[in-house]
Copies of this chain bind each other. A is one copy, B any other.
Amino acid sequence: MTSEDSLDALIDALVRSTFQVTSVLTRIGAENDLSLTQLRVLGILRDRRPRVTELAAHLGLDKSTMSGLVDRAERRGLLARDRNPHDGRAVDVFLTPAGRELTQRLDVEIRRALAPTLGRLRPEQREQLVGLLEPLLGPADAD
């Protein structure tokens, strides 16, 4: 196997695993009336209180798109806005208790959905896989 081939095979496997994981996340989101994007918003807010622009940058979206996403999630009581005390232009976004509760439930569901497949690997293989993926990952931003 040449180096080229090993790269092609890896890209193929990685893209396939991407669509497979995405499909699980999309399904669990849909079962809870959440788009994949809203799922990610909740995931980011788990341990952050970003302003709208930061949230948009995290997701690679325009700030106007972000406004709409925050609007709809806020209307559902999942998150809330607050003026940033240090910058009158900025608006901080954070989970409400209901949003936090839903996020935790989603975590459990995601874990439950992926566990059977990932359980095909022995624990030491899982650790090996994590070790191989880690150097590929950018700065943290799970879920």
Contacts and interface: CB of A to CB of B under 8 A. Distances in A.
Given A10-B130, A132-B121, A142 B15 contact: yes
Copies in the complex: 2
Contacts of A137: 13, 16-17, 20
Interface residues of A, number: 52
A127 B15 contact: no
A121 B18 CA distance: 19
Contacts of A98: none
Interface in A6-48: 6-23, 25-27, 40
Most buried by B among A121, A123, A136: A136
Give chain A's interface secondary structure class.
helix
Contacts of A142: 12, 15-16
A26 B125 CA distance: 30
Given A120-B136, A125-B132, A138-B20, A111 B8 contact: yes
A129 interface: yes
Contacts of A60: 23, 26-27
Nearest to A10: B126
